[in-house]
A and B are shown apart, each in its own frame.
Chain A
């Protein structure tokens, strides 16, 4: 068919009609010239021409496709039918819009987060270089296995045969001064190979080059697009200028493009590592590795390749003079565990998202079941019309077709409304979504999502339309016409489909509600965990770093920190203040190392378990609300005097000496050359990593002590999280007082990450609460749709059986018996649905296991409560129509027949 002709077919029709009219005129004139009277002349001309309508039809037929013409007619017809029944149409459209909207919104998240998370060229070649070390005791607490050390990077990058290029990177922060007010910025330090692996060209200037990585070469830096815009207004002239980071002059050589992230980390500055190969040691496991596989190399091959390089690494390096080679690391059983970079980015969120996606999909099925039910009822009332059409010669296919056109039309209109809803819903989703959903803020309705919505609309239209269409297009014309619609609709078989749909709805609703229930129980369990701090909403936290270029002597650093803490404590309304190397769940590079303890010394060559190291000020634990189990906190005198004291967490004290009390007065030390330190206090366990992970064994060191920060480090921790307890925490006035307090001590110190502990805590619960909210929404939708479904079926049953009820009432049936009859019907359906749903839930909930915390996937309480809710809902939903049945006036009903 020719589209141009098709679109212009009306125009053609006019043209040709005119032309034919011309013919008649000319022929008539000729005939008159031959001497005929006008009337006769014209009649002869028309006769000569033939059947004019047939000619027009023939031409019209050449220009069109019958299918499209009849489709357009069916659509017009369907639209009219939908308009005539606004109640039905509104309910159906609303149900569909909700279902399609929710699915589209969630799909758009899944699409950009799970399906398409990497925006690098040829992302399938990119891998994260990870390794596990199952026998490195204590390291098991790392979620992410064993990070790389700088010496590993050198060995791997020089000897591997699997990668086109590889590199390592790490996140840190730096103080930038001299541009505006001092600012703490996010820095990513990269080795050679990282940018080359990601293959994203700079937006301006150039990449960091291998020459920039040579120790002693001029300090260079790249900017992120955002930082470039913010601090340099996006000016090209920024290239070549310098900025001062951590009191060090750095030349700006390039800008990365908008939206570029290091895997999933955002940053302001990109700085090069300058590894001094002569001074690298085996240890220092803190770097993330990234690589681009050579074409055709599999992950298994790359793993084997790296595994072969581990002995080379052990033999090539030491941990310092006299410590021997790295063969003892063989005890750790370090094993490469390379995985696709995509998996790294998506990480733990994929479980939650897939659960949400599938539950929302279930809601869609329930919605479809409801609409199918509505359509069944509607088709029933239209039986006569359909039968009449069949009788007049419409084929079965034709009748099915026109019913399908109607339902697909419903689906499409519902889809359009749904996309509108999804756009609105997406804003909500972004607002409540967990921070660890990568790039959540960039989620939008893209073409792929629109295609998904379209497919969903068409499919749902077909699915819920096919049931009534096949049912009623049947060839039972004569019987229906004869029965005049009365007895035809009471057949048992017809009810069976509706009942089946309701049972399925109840079963699916039950599964959803149970999953929501399990999440609620998980959330409760998490809230019940004592995280090791109290009243987080009234605990203000901030990060302060004092770089060596600003203040050199360690004691002075401590004194400034001490002074800031005192100033903070002096703010009106502040009850306590202190500082420590980090607050729980902040997620700054955690520090793990081993200790020796009195009675628990380890011979050389044996790796003792790793402990979590924290450095805290006196008063820090008190301010955070962390309880002392035994003993006391450190004192300022002890810290300034570098006295050999230390505190331990309760679980560590128990492990070493049986109880908290027994630990006080005992001694520990770091390396076997360090002095012994007396345990002066034992602290309650703190959920340092994540609320749903076991509290690690923690050693609380003073923040000023010998041997800290490596040679030349001076023995002081320079970056600290300050905590301030106040009723006014989080208010604008309070925050400016906090900044003033800091700047009254030193005006060059940037105040970073100012937020309440509550924000940190909520963020750590974000994944659970996000899944919870989504499942709760899905569950409530399912419940409501299920109630509507039951209500619809029972009220329809009541309306169909009015005559029977009338007769029963006339014969003396009691009202409550009649009511019970219908409620029992609903109850039976609900029970069957519940039974099926329980079976399905028991199987399916195992998939949710990774999202649950201390709750069994078969949690008895949830499995008891949810069915109860559903059964009660079913009774209520059937009670209303049942009451209507009981109030039937037999005289009226029977007369109406």
Chain B
């Protein structure tokens, strides 16, 4: 199996991608293309994701009941699959965000102990 090279693909960041998708959907329902670009833009292009990797993640989140899919109409009047956050997903986002901030703080303390 050839290795994918996108920085988003590493194991460590898989949960992170989930979190980012959920965060994007807080603002309202969106389809796959919109989500991908929103993440890229939101991170000021630092997080370069291979957009295809988004779809397995969406599938996984839908199976867990964190997001729900529905058919809607896109900006250019096309039928497209839209995703929205479910209550369970909102709870999950909160939990993940909290955990993420804890980790970031912890790592930050280790990396810059002197300034604290």
Contact = CB atoms under 8 A, between A and B. Distances in A.
B91 interface: no
Interface in B12-51: 31-33, 36, 50-51
Contacts of A49: 50-52
Interface string B50-65: 1111011001100100
B52 A55 contact: yes
Given A2-B63, A51-B4, A22 B53 contact: no
Q: Which of B32, B59, B74, B80 has the most CB of A within 10 A?
A: B59
Contacts of B76: 26, 29
B99 interface: no
Contact of A20 (B2, B4, B55): B55
A73 interface: no
A15 B74 CA distance: 17
A25 B60 contact: no
A22 B55 contact: no
Contact of A59 (B2, B6, B31, B59): B59
B56 A55 contact: yes
Nearest to B50: A50
A19 B32 contact: yes
A54 interface: yes
A208 B110 CA distance: 91
A2 to B, nearest CB: 7
Contacts of B51: 23, 27, 48-50
B69 to A, nearest CB: 9
B60 to A, nearest CB: 6
A23 B6 contact: no
B4 A25 contact: no
A52 interface: yes
A22 B52 contact: no
Contact of B33 (A2, A23, A50, A51): A23
A50 B51 CA distance: 7
A27 B33 contact: yes
A467 B9 CA distance: 47
B81 interface: yes
A249 interface: no
Interface in A42-62: 48-52, 54-55, 58-59, 62
Given A2-B63, A22-B78, A59-B59, A50 B52 contact: yes
Interface in A1-33: 2, 5, 12, 15-16, 19-20, 22-23, 25-27, 29
A27 B40 CA distance: 14
A52 B52 contact: yes
Interface centre among A2, A15, A16, A50 (most CB of B within 10 A): A50
A22 B81 contact: yes
A52 B52 CA distance: 7
Q: How large is the interface on B (under 10, 10 to 19, 20 to 34, 35 or more residues)?
A: 20 to 34
B74 A26 contact: yes
A25 to B, nearest CB: 7
A62 B4 contact: no
A10 to B, nearest CB: 14
B53 A55 contact: yes
Nearest to A58: B56
A29 B53 CA distance: 21
A26 B51 CA distance: 12
A59 to B, nearest CB: 5
B31 to A, nearest CB: 7
B31 A62 contact: no
B78 A50 contact: no
Contacts of B4: 50-51, 54
- Counting chain B CB atoms within 10 Å of each CB, the highest count among A5, A12, A23, A48 belongs to A23
Contacts of A16: 55, 59
Interface string A617-657: 00000000000000000000000000000000000000000
Given A26-B74, A49-B50, A5 B81 contact: no
A22 B59 contact: no
Contacts of B59: 12, 16, 59, 62
B63 A5 contact: yes
Contacts of A29: 76
A312 to B, nearest CB: 76
Interface string A166-197: 00000000000000000000000000000000
A62 B56 contact: yes
A439 B78 CA distance: 72
Given A50-B6, A62-B59, A62-B60, A25 B53 contact: no
A79 to B, nearest CB: 31
B55 A59 contact: yes
Contacts of B2: 51
Interface string B1-12: 010101000000
A48 B81 CA distance: 19
A171 B78 CA distance: 87
A27 B51 CA distance: 10
B55 A19 contact: yes
A29 to B, nearest CB: 7
A602 to B, nearest CB: 94
A25 B63 contact: no
Interface in B74-88: 74, 76, 78, 80-81
B53 A59 contact: no
Nearest to B53: A50
Most B-side CB within 10 Å, residue of A5, A26, A58: A26
B60 A22 contact: no
Contact of B80 (A15, A22, A27, A59): A22
Contacts of B55: 16, 19-20, 23, 55, 59
B56 to A, nearest CB: 4
A160 B82 CA distance: 81
B63 A22 contact: no
A59 B56 contact: yes
A23 B32 contact: yes
Contacts of A58: 56
Interface string A727-767: 00000000000000000000000000000000000000000
A688 B53 CA distance: 91
A9 to B, nearest CB: 11
A54 B1 CA distance: 9
A818 to B, nearest CB: 60
Interface string A76-105: 000000000000000000000000000000
Nearest to B74: A26
Contacts of A5: 63
A367 B31 CA distance: 63
B81 A19 contact: yes
B9 to A, nearest CB: 9
A19 B59 CA distance: 11
A5 B60 CA distance: 11
A25 B59 CA distance: 20
A336 to B, nearest CB: 68
Nearest to B5: A50
A49 to B, nearest CB: 4
Nearest to A20: B55
Nearest to A22: B80
Given A26-B74, A51-B4, A54-B4, A20 B31 contact: no
B101 to A, nearest CB: 29
A681 to B, nearest CB: 97
Contacts of A50: 4, 6, 50-53
Contacts of A48: 50-51
Contacts of A59: 55-56, 59
Given A48-B51, A51-B2, A52-B52, 13 more contacts: A2-B63, A15-B81, A19-B55, A19-B80, A20-B55, A22-B80, A26-B76, A27-B51, A29-B76, A49-B50, A50-B6, A51-B52, A59-B56
24 contacts: A16-B55, A19-B32, A19-B55, A20-B52, A22-B33, A22-B74, A22-B80, A23-B32, A23-B51, A25-B78, A26-B33, A26-B80, A27-B33, A29-B76, A48-B51, A49-B52, A50-B6, A50-B50, A50-B52, A51-B4, A51-B52, A54-B4, A55-B53, A59-B55
Closest 5 CB pairs of A and B: A50-B52, A50-B50, A58-B56, A49-B52, A26-B33
